[in-house]
A = this chain, B = another copy of it.
Amino acid sequence: MERKIEIKSWFTGLQASIIQALEQEDGTGVFGIDEWDRPGGGGGITRLLKGGAVIEKGGVNFSAVYGETPDPIRKSFQSDASEFFATGVSIVIHPQNPFVPIIHMNVRYFELSDGNSWFGGGIDLTPSYVFHEDGVFFHAALKEVCDQFDPLWYAKYKSQADSYFRIPHRNETRGIGGIFYDRLAAKDLENFTRLWEFTKKVGSAFAPVYTSLIAKRKNTPFTEEQKFWQLHRRSRYAEFNLVYDAGTKFGLETNGRTESILMSLPPVACWESNYSPMEGSPEFVSQAYFQNPTDWV
């Protein structure tokens, strides 16, 4: 039980500190608070912001749920464990300014009553306009976190992000990736401690990395055409999340809280048929990044 309380309360603190950092960087936006209970056990705190100076729509959600193991979980983990416990922090930020990237983070811990437990998560960036230097800065920050634990992790989890955040029917990625890892088993105490430290470092990297990207780009003036490109890219974001994202699918299939699951969807998105940017334009250059995953660092 100690572990669960420790992780849960650290995640609660992470949510609070990220919200503080985001509100400060935004300047005017304030995250609402919606505390909810899960009928079968546990609950969460959904915190949404809408119409900030920087953040057009954002969600920073915490949950810690437990109880009888639902069938889809038993199936997915091939386990007969009667009880489960799952906690995590999940974030999606859609900025107003098309030069500020969308960001997504998820850190989570999952435990079954048969004694098995796992960590999963990642951070990935979805710029409308790709600035090479921002990509390098972002990936270097994630590599620095990974390198503290294993020299192979960054390459591995970066490549998993490139595979995971693919939109096959568009033949492109959602954005410029990041790191993605799932079901890292905490087999013994040493192992658990290491994965938990890693999770904390990933979670703690979010605010400084993202607020620095916001600060750098939030005051760049933009045209209607540039805003349109952002709305166009957001339609791809919605397609990925609704068609492919495993967490979204799982949530909808298991009757999760729809509003919490779909807080990831963009405030406004545009689907224009057969749209492709003019060759050589900044939009064209950005699109090329989505078509060919880059080695950033």
Give A residues with C-beta under 8 Å from B: 34, 48, 50, 57, 59, 168-170, 231, 235, 238-239, 242-243, 252, 255, 258-259, 261-263, 265-274
Contact = CB atoms under 8 A, between A and B. Distances in A.
A178 to B, nearest CB: 23
Contact of A259 (B48, B235, B242, B274): B274
Contacts of A266: 271
Given A242-B242, A243-B242, A252-B169, A262 B258 contact: no
A247 to B, nearest CB: 13
A165 B256 CA distance: 20
Contact of A48 (B238, B243, B261, B274): B274
16 contacts: A34-B274, A48-B273, A57-B271, A57-B273, A169-B252, A169-B255, A169-B261, A231-B268, A238-B238, A239-B242, A239-B262, A262-B271, A263-B273, A268-B268, A269-B269, A269-B271
Nearest to A59: B273
A268 B267 contact: no
Contacts of A169: 252, 255, 258, 261-262
A259 B273 contact: yes
A22 B291 CA distance: 37
Nearest to A235: B265
A105 B59 CA distance: 37
Given A258-B169, A258-B170, A50 B273 contact: yes
Contacts of A57: 271, 273
In this complex, which of A50, A242, A252, A273 has the most chain B Cβ atoms within 10 angstroms of its Cβ?
A273
Contacts of A50: 272-273
Nearest to A243: B242
Contacts of A252: 168-169, 243
Ordered nearest first, which 5 A-B pairs have the shortest CB separation?
A: A242-B242, A265-B271, A169-B252, A169-B258, A48-B273
A195 B231 CA distance: 43
A238 B269 CA distance: 10
Given A267-B272, A268-B268, 8 more contacts: A169-B252, A169-B255, A169-B262, A238-B242, A239-B262, A262-B273, A265-B271, A269-B269
A170 B168 CA distance: 26
Contact of A268 (B48, B168, B265, B269): B269
Nearest to A262: B271
